[in-house]
Structure 1
Amino acid sequence: MPIAFFAVIAALLYLAAAGLQLAHLVQRQRHLSRPVLGMAIVALICHAVVTWDALVVNEGVTFGIYKVLALSFLAVNIACIAALLRRPLQNLLVGLLPLSALSIVVASLGPNTSAARDHIEPGMLMHIGSSIVAYSILTLAAGQAALLALQDRQLRNRNMLGITRALPPLQLMESMLFELVWVGVAALTLSILSGMIFMENMFAQHLVHKTILSIFAWLLFSVLLWGRYRLGWRSQTAVRFTLSGFFLLLLAFYGSKLVLELVLS
């Protein structure tokens, strides 16, 4: 069966699930419906097939920017669906799933922009894996922060829209945000430490920007958690720190690959 079939099925199911979840959000339905979850899981399986085919080539494994984009959204989706077992994060699917559909299309049609590696050391696998986990969790945190900002602003203005009324209470939204940040920072810490241990030089010319931006992002998230614990930071302060840290992490994760693989090449 051609890989394009799995890509099309995954993209269509992602879009259908996002549209259905948006309809539920407009109708102020606070619970995740089984059709949305079912379509998302089937799409996730097809997404995994497409990602595997994109990453694994005859010469080994390639981590080009288009392929990593699909891998990143695969990890974000897995993290989101796993988190749904404990927390009502289903509203994040409205934005996440269409972007996932786009990543699959790009991974399927985009060219290879990075040379394949025939062997990856276990230490490097730990670094790569923890980096992807950290990025996926903190992506969810950024999405949660955006929803929290919207909800907080409308509560202050006493002008609640229909979509905002379907969100969980503000205190629960804040609690879910900080839970995501805690897990994300733990994974990011492991990523930075494993990079220092197993990489020859994290401050080499082609890695220095990624390393510095990742460390600054880690510092921002860590200050946020300290401020929450010691000073009781909430709402807008949490939103600003989370979105700023995620922006730095986004630049670290994709910025260097974008320049090296698409601009300089």
Structure 2
Amino acid sequence: MISLPLVYTILALIAYTTGFWYSFMHLLAKREPNRWFIGVILSIGLLLHGYILEHDMLTTHGVNYDVFNLMSFTSGLMLLLSAVYSTYRPVIALNLLGIPVAATGLIFGFAFSHPDQFTEEHSLGLDIHIILSLSAYAVLLMATIQAVLMWFQDRELKKKQKRLWVNLLPPFQVMESLLFDMLITGFVVLTIALGFGFFTVDSFLAQHLAHKTVFSLISWVVYGVLLIGHFKFGWRGQKAIRFTLIGFSLLAVGFIGSKFILEMILGK
């Protein structure tokens, strides 16, 4: 018997595939895609994606933080934000990156997550802190990918012949504006996540979170300095790209590095 989550997964993938090919064919032909159609088809895919996540992550014992569930959550959030940003900025082309990422995360989450494993009981405040932290990482990862695209775009624009993928991208100034939209969103969410962490985590040292907290705070400062520099001193271009990459590198070292040391080296 076919399960309902499987049906929803297939329908979500159909919606994602439809949105991708519709956008790609229109942009390739240099025609403006219908924003309403893109919005509706991606909304259907994301709603189905959200239902599957709710089914996989929310259990009677607590939130299931299986790594594949987290992949599905972050990839879906990235596409959601990409779709939201494209409603007020001419960046529909970036959904061509967000849709495959969300589809891949959905497939991995449905196929490989373990509903009976990796479930931990936390207080509501700590669960909110974890979800906000993951959301901040997802948004700032988007900003990092955006910064890398801008770096390649800037380099290609200086050449006489531009590659096809560069022609599909929005103008550099639009890409830069979107980068700061992402940075502002990520900075706000990271600020709230850190605030929840200080009030909900009993002991950072006992829970081996000191190093992760230090790197997160340094990263928060880097992003804060960049945003102040942008709005007060007009920082942009390559300086914004460098700060963005440095900020996320610190986050990655704090999060991924600490998990590697604790689990692989210390066995905790």
Question: Fold conserved (TM > 0.5)?
Answer: yes
The change in CA–CA distance for 1:222 and 1:183 in structure 2 (over 3 A counts) is same
> Residues 94-152 of structure 1, C-alpha deviation per residue, up to 9 Å, x if partnerless?
222212112112212224351332x532x324423432332333233223223322221
Out of 204, 210, 225, the residue aligned to residue 208 of structure 1 is 210
1:153 is paired with a residue whose SS is helix
2:119 is paired with a residue whose SS is coil
Look up the match of 1:190: 192
TM-fit CA distance, 1:199: 1.2
1:157 is paired with a residue whose SS is coil
Look up the equivalent residue of 1:120 and give its one-letter code: S
The normalised TM-score by structure 1 is: 0.84
Tell me, yes or no, if the aligned pair for 1:149 and 1:239 is still in contact at 8 Å.
Answer: yes
Look up the match of 1:145: 147
The change in CA–CA distance for 1:3 and 1:251 in structure 2 (over 3 A counts) is farther
Look up the match of 1:103: 105
Cα RMSD of the aligned pairs, angstroms, is 2.8
Sequence identity percentage = 28
- 1:1-265 matches, within 5 Å, as 1-29=3-31, 31=33, 33-112=35-114, 113-117=117-121, 120-121=123-124, 123-253=125-255, 256=258, 264=267
TM-fit CA distance, 1:226: 3.1
Tell me, yes or no, if the aligned pair for 2:153 and 2:172 is still in contact at 8 Å.
Answer: yes
The normalised TM-score by structure 2 is: 0.83
Cα distance in structure 1, aligned partners of 2:259 and 2:25: 37
The change in CA–CA distance for 1:210 and 1:220 in structure 2 (over 3 A counts) is same
Structure 1: gaps spanning 5 or more residues: none
Cα distance in structure 1, aligned partners of 2:126 and 2:91: 31
Cα distance in structure 1, aligned partners of 2:156 and 2:32: 18
1:41 is paired with a residue whose SS is helix
The change in CA–CA distance for 1:60 and 1:243 in structure 2 (over 3 A counts) is same
TM-fit CA distance, 1:259: 6.9
The change in CA–CA distance for 1:226 and 1:62 in structure 2 (over 3 A counts) is same
Tell me, yes or no, if the aligned pair for 1:65 and 1:257 is still in contact at 8 Å.
Answer: no
Number of corresponding residues: 263
> Residues 141-177 of structure 1, C-alpha deviation per residue, up to 9 Å, x if partnerless?
2232233222211222243334323433322221221
Look up the equivalent residue of 1:223 and give its one-letter code: V
2:118 is paired with a residue whose SS is coil
The change in CA–CA distance for 1:43 and 1:239 in structure 2 (over 3 A counts) is same
Greater Cα shift, 75-84 or 180-189: 75-84
TM-fit CA distance, 1:53: 0.9
Cα distance in structure 1, aligned partners of 2:34 and 2:260: 36
Greater Cα shift, 39-48 or 234-243: 234-243
Look up the equivalent residue of 1:127 and give its one-letter code: H
> Residues 188-208 of structure 1, C-alpha deviation per residue, up to 9 Å, x if partnerless?
111112211221123444433
The change in CA–CA distance for 1:50 and 1:135 in structure 2 (over 3 A counts) is same
Cα distance in structure 2, aligned partners of 1:25 and 1:240: 30
Cα distance in structure 2, aligned partners of 1:155 and 1:201: 50
